[in-house]
């Protein structure tokens, strides 16, 4: 192509394009369509030993108040320009409820879960069903379900919240409603109604159709721990069971479909034998890992970080990541993988 560039005419064109609300593709930076993902989010670690005392101070100083307020403190990724996001799609927060405190009823289109690394004594009422929160348990709050939390004890409790807040914000799909100020129930059963219906392995109540999010509100650590222990025992007996040597893993699934428990969030628990190391892997989509028990060393883009119980790690898209177990270690992990799968954007390397 031999087009003589008339500089003043080109400058006039750019000015007219801008005035018309247009931008040329050819002047955009390569980051518009990179060869491979180049996230702004950074691999980052938050220490439970730092989070918990800060949450306790917030508990002393900042009342939960009325009007659906929650005392949650978001993990803010240093690469994301001061936004309260762990990754561009994932919200991760420590929530703290003091003795006898209540976080009142509300619902939103954002999907949520709670994971309990220590403590007990809070019940979360999900659509009026009281769900106990105890160490190692995963509790679900699918989008648009009513929820409220109440601490029935004389001691505080803290836990991890995970939500798809940044994704829903980017999609302009956020809706929010306040519910009644009075608790739907102060009942404190050991098992929720949802567990009485749905928590029988391989047995599905015939009365209900498939649901896009899991109808099971609680996944108890007794089951999770047993499933992981069995994988490592079976591996030791020479049977196929683990994802790689010394690495057991379970995914929390929707009993009506076998898919991910939540439509927008993948939830998993991993157990590594002492000394086991996961293969270095990069995945399209981001994740947050939390050490549930034991000690591990994470390798993030080749940098090693020591992790103890409760520590959290943000793993941005396409960041090379592996974990090595110092002791036997259990790791909870959540990611946006179901979204990438539904959009045909999933990739990992090695495949």
The count of residues interacting with ligand GTQ (CB under 6 A) is 9
Residue 128 Cβ, how far from ligand GTQ at the closest point, in Å?
A: 15
Residue 242 within binding range of ligand GTQ, rule CB under 6 A: no
CA-based nearest residue to 116, from 77, 151, 157: 157
Question: Contacting ligand GTQ (CB under 6 A), which of 117, 163, 183, 288?
Answer: 163
101 vs 341 by CB, closer to ligand GTQ: 101
Which structure tokens are listed for 224?
Answer: 């999770």
Per CB under 6 A, 107 contacts ligand GTQ:
no
* Cβ closest to ligand GTQ, residue 45 vs residue 73: 73
Cβ closest to ligand GTQ, residue 102 vs residue 319: 102
Nearer to ligand GTQ, 172 or 237 (CB): 172
CB 150 to ligand GTQ: min, Å: 12
- Assess 55 for contact with ligand GTQ (CB under 6 A): no
Judged by CB under 6 A, which of 147, 220, 270, 271 binds ligand GTQ?
147
The verdict on 93 binding ligand GTQ (CB under 6 A) reads yes
* 125 counts as binding ligand GTQ under rule CB under 6 A: no
* By the rule CB under 6 A, 161 interacts with ligand GTQ: yes
To 5 degrees, how large is the angle CA 313–CA 316–CA 321? 65
Least spacing, CB of residue 160 vs ligand GTQ, in Å: 9
Q: Based on the number of CB atoms within 10 Å of its own CB, is 122 exposed (0-12), middle (13-18) or buried (19 or more)? A: buried
Cβ-based nearer residue to ligand GTQ, 109 or 346? 109
Tokens representing 43 are 């691999």
Q: What are phi and psi of 82, to 5 degrees?
A: 80, 10
Q: How far apart are CA 232 and CA 84, in angstroms?
A: 38
Q: Which is nearer to ligand GTQ, 55 or 287 (CB)?
A: 55
What strand order describes the sheet that includes 72-74? 72-74, 91-97, 157-163, 112-115, 138-141, 218-219
Nearer to ligand GTQ, 112 or 167 (CB): 112
Q: How far is the CB of 51 from ligand GTQ (least distance, A)?
A: 13
Quote the least distance from Cβ 288 to ligand GTQ, whole Å. Answer: 13
Dihedral angle, C-alpha 256, 262, 263, 264, nearest 10 °: -170
* Least Cβ distance, residue 27 to ligand GTQ (angstroms): 39
In whole angstroms, how close is the CB of 93 to ligand GTQ at the nearest point? 4
Task: Please tell me whether residue 71 binds ligand GTQ under the rule CB under 6 A.
Answer: no
Among 41, 58, 72, 269, binds ligand GTQ (CB under 6 A): 72
**Alpha helix (H) ranges present in the chain?**
7-19, 48-61, 165-170, 193-198, 221-236, 337-342
334 strand-pairing partners: 267, 288
Taking the C-alpha atoms of residue 196 and residue 221, their distance in angstroms, rounded to an integer, is 16
Tokens 């999900």 sit at which residue?
Answer: 126
Among 77, 87, 89, 95, binds ligand GTQ (CB under 6 A): 95
Q: Of 124 and 254, which has the nearer Cβ to ligand GTQ?
A: 124
**Least distance between ligand GTQ and beta carbon 255 (Å):** 24
| 70 lines the binding site for ligand GTQ (CB under 6 A) | yes
**How is residue 26 annotated by DSSP?**
G
User: Given the complex with ligand GTQ, which of 91 and 318 has the nearer CB atom?
Assistant: 91
Q: Tell me how many helices (H) and strands (E) the chain has.
A: 6, 22
Q: 128 or 225, CB closer to ligand GTQ? A: 128
Using CB atoms within 10 A of its CB, is residue 82 exposed (0-12), middle (13-18) or buried (19+)?
Answer: exposed
Q: For 208-245, b where at least 16 C-beta lie within 10 A, e where not — what string?
A: eeeeebbbbbbbbbeebbeebeebbeebeeeeeebeee
Coil/strand/helix, residue 193: helix
Q: Which residues here bind ligand GTQ, judged by CB under 6 A?
A: 70, 72, 93, 95, 108, 112, 147, 161, 163
């Amino acid at each position: 192509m031999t087009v003589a560039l008339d500089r003043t005419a080109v400058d006039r064109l750019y000015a007219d394009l801008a005035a018309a609300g247009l931008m040329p593709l050819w002047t955009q930076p390569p980051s518009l369509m990179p060869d491979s993902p180049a996230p702004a989010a950074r691999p980052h670690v938050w220490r439970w030993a730092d989070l918990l005392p800060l949450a306790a101070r917030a508990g002393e100083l900042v009342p939960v108040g009325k009007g659906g307020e929650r005392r949650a403190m978001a993990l803010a990724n240093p690469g994301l320009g001061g936004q309260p996001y762990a990754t561009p799609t994932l919200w991760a927060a420590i929530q703290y409820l003091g003795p006898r405190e209540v976080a009142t009823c509300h619902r939103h289109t954002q999907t949520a879960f709670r994971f309990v690394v220590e403590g007990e004594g809070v019940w979360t009422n999900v659509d009026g069903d009281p769900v106990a929160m105890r160490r190692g348990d995963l509790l679900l709050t699918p989008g648009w379900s009513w929820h409220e939390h109440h601490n029935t004890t004389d001691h505080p409790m803290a836990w991890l919240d995970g939500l798809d807040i940044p994704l829903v914000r980017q999609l302009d799909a956020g809706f929010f409603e306040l519910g009644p100020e009075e608790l739907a129930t102060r009942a404190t059963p050991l098992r929720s109604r949802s567990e009485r219906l749905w928590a029988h392995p391989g047995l599905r109540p015939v009365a209900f159709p498939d649901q896009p999010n899991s109808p099971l509100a609680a996944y108890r650590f007794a089951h999770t721990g047993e499933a992981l222990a069995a994988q490592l025992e079976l591996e030791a007996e020479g049977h196929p069971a683990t994802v790689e040597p010394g690495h057991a893993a379970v995914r929390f699934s929707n009993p009506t479909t076998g898919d991910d428990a939540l439509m927008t969030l993948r939830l998993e628990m991993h157990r590594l034998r002492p000394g086991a190391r996961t293969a270095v892997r990069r995945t399209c989509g981001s994740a947050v890992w939390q050490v549930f028990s034991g000690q591990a060393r994470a390798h993030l883009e080749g940098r090693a970080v020591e992790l103890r119980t409760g520590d959290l790690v943000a793993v941005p898209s396409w960041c090379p990541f592996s974990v090595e177990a110092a002791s036997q270690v259990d790791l909870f992990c959540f990611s946006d993988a179901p979204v990438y799968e539904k959009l045909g954007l999933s990739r990992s390397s090695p495949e």
